[in-house]
Amino acid sequence: MEDYHKPDQQTLQALKDTANRLRISSIKATTAAGSGHPTSCCSAAEIMSVLFFHTMRYKVQDPRNASNDRFVLSKGHAAPILYSVWAEAGFLQETELLNLRKIDSVLEGHPVPKQAFTDVATGSLGQGLGAACGMAYTGKFFDRASYRVYCLLGDGELSEGSVWEAMAFAGFYKLDNLVAIFDVNRLGQSDPAPLQHHVEIYQKRCEAFGWHAIIVDGHSVEELCKAFGQAKHQPTAIIAKTFKGKGISGVEDKESWHGKPLPKNMAEQVIQEIDDKIQNKKKLSPALPEEDAPVVNIRNIKMPSPPTYKVGEKWATRKAYGVALAKLGHANDRVIALDGDTKNSTFSELFKKEHPSRYIECYIAEQNMVSIAVGCATRDRTVAFASTFATFFTRAFDQIRMAAISDSNINLCGSHCGVSIGEDGPSQMGLEDLCMFRAVPNATVFYPSDAVATEKAVEIAANTKGICFIRTSRPENPVIYSNNEDFHIGQAKVILKSKDDQVTVIGAGVTLHEALAAAEHLRKEKIFIRVIDPFTIKPLDKKTILENAKATKGRIITVEDHYHEGGIGEAVCAAVVGEPGITVHRLAVCQVPRSGKSAELLKMFGIDKDAIVQAVKSAVSKSRNAE
């Protein structure tokens, strides 16, 4: 409180006038669009006015300046008021607001990073605060800069568990550079929010999570100025009691107006009423930031030395991931690692051991871990690698989906894939992860089959835009590549080849090694197969697969430690569809598995050496019979 100086009456009136101009702009934009959420904008008008024109420090014409304060609109449907703020500040043309939601406008229905002032896409509710936590953690512990992070949430999204994962994270790490504002406007989309205006309950919840919580009248610019002026050694939650549709007569605090623009005649009347309250047209200018964020370079990160593995040595790719990440950490001090309390299984603990200040323990909150990684990676401040069991990323799929919409550059490593993990059983087995990550736009899906390939995948991922997923395995398998082997995205490796090959077998991870064992067995019976390691499942090396399939009479067998749906087999089928004379036989896990030893499970589900041998013999005999 010692830093708080009450603004003079002129400033307070200017902030009220700004809030009303933001209301008018939001109504105009949504009415012109014929869709949108004007009532959700109007409840937040004073909050946005005070934040952007009194509290925050930023350069208007350089919205992504590293030293600017950050803002995340978690209630993304209130996008028109965010756009109105940037028009009021002078970054956008006022006339552009009337193009809201049009196909040729940058002003989409919810915020997206093609807008220079938007760091993360929002609109899938409950995710903004996690990203804001990542930004605040980066500001406090990596940048050690003075910028602050503000996140505006709607009261409806406070039912999302991911919000409280983020609240717990910020409270635990005492992110005193983070401010969350709850716009408690009482009404959700189809019903009132569960707590309606019981702001004292929100306050108790926030305090229980380690936050300093202040209740304010969200339409009083003076109370807001005072609340934002309070600095504590913990994150701050401003619980603003507001009214949905504030300032719109006949609509304010009324149900059934969510996501509905005002009809033109009604809008004109309401705009006139609000305009009559404005006393001064003079616009406020925000304060400039203290330029203390360090210059950061995360381009072209190279491993300090080549891999040091010996061919034939047995290594689990999950452990090779930890070794590689720790090594990469020496190449650039902006490489960071996150984990969800599985670091001694994913081996991210090796990174923590060598770079303790750059490791973020996210505990068992995978949705929040992905959001933290997204926040840390904004404005190219860090290269983030987040790891957990592959199967636990399924619960964070919405965060991963939104990370792709955010054009985020994050790297995710999923260990313990498939039935090969053994005794732990199906709840721990990643069997849907390839399907999930293949569906993510612009994602790169790495599936390294030995320690050398894993190290290369880590290095390549650090320099690759978009979402990167690295799939690692629990069993130890022999190193098959020399340390100077070159790897590229979308380039498969032909591991085994002869002029007498009759079938092309494609496997990855443990099944590649099963394929090599099958080849050894078949060779004794004078049956030769070609073995391909795809390295990346997305993008898949269609050219190499087709060339080799054609050289083996069009016969392909895929074998994978994954369900049939969306895995390697389907990726290969999609690559060869329409090609004459090509047949694909797919071996994959065909039902919910169970506990057992790794070898027993590979056998039970028909993806081991013996199953490959049988499939090859069947393909060859079918062909002979046909002849």
- DSSP per residue, 154-205: ESGGGGSHHHHHHHHHHHHTT-TTEEEEEEE-SB-SSSB-TTTT-HHHHHHH
- Report how far apart, in Å, the C-alpha atoms of 132 and of each of 58, 67, 71, 156, 405 are: 16, 15, 8, 18, 16
CA–CA distance, 507 with 557 (Å, rounded to integer): 9
**The pLDDT value given to residue 1:** 39
CA–CA distance, 431 with 448 (Å, rounded to integer): 16
Residue 623, pLDDT > 80, answer no
Count of CB atoms within 10 A of residue 211's CB? 23
pLDDT tens-digit series, residues 241-284: 999 999 999 999 999 999 999 999 999 999 999 999 999 999 99
CA–CA distance, 408 with 406 (Å, rounded to integer): 5
What single-letter DSSP state applies at residue 53?
I
pLDDT tens-digit series, residues 6-16: 899 999 999 99
CA–CA distance, 354 with 77 (Å, rounded to integer): 43
Residue 455, pLDDT > 70, answer yes
Residue 2, pLDDT > 90, answer no
Residue 202, pLDDT > 70, answer yes
- Report how far apart, in Å, the C-alpha atoms of 259 and of each of 44, 86, 134, 236 are: 15, 22, 30, 29
Confidence at 4, pLDDT banded by 50, 70, 90: confident
Confidence at 231, pLDDT banded by 50, 70, 90: confident
**The pLDDT value given to residue 627:** 60
Place of tokens 């923590």: 352
State the catalytic residue, choosing from 160, 366, 514, 560. Answer: 366
Confidence at 512, pLDDT banded by 50, 70, 90: very high
What stretch of H or E contains 135? helix 128-137
Residue 524, pLDDT > 50, answer yes
Percent of the chain at pLDDT above 70?
99
pLDDT tens-digit series, residues 137-148: 999 999 999 999
Look at strands 410-415 and 468-471 and give their pairing. Answer: parallel
pLDDT tens-digit series, residues 543-584: 999 999 999 999 999 999 999 999 999 999 999 999 999 999
Q: What is the mean pLDDT of residues 374-383?
A: 98
Q: What is the mean pLDDT of residues 611-621?
A: 97
Residue 622, pLDDT > 50, answer yes
CA–CA distance, 417 with 434 (Å, rounded to integer): 10
Q: What is the mean pLDDT of residues 469-487?
A: 98
Reading the block at residue 454, the tokens are 């894993």
Q: Is 366 among the catalytic positions?
A: yes
DSSP H stretches of helix in 183-337: 199-208, 221-228, 264-275, 317-331
Reading the block at residue 609, the tokens are 């050496």
What stretch of H or E contains 576? helix 568-576
pLDDT tens-digit series, residues 491-500: 999 999 999 9
- Strand-pair partners of 586: 558
Look at strands 536-538 and 236-241 and give their pairing. Answer: unpaired
Residue-averaged pLDDT of the chain: 97
- Report how far apart, in Å, the C-alpha atoms of 335 and of each of 152, 198, 382, 409, 445 are: 29, 43, 6, 12, 20
pLDDT tens-digit series, residues 276-308: 999 999 999 999 999 999 999 999 999 999 999
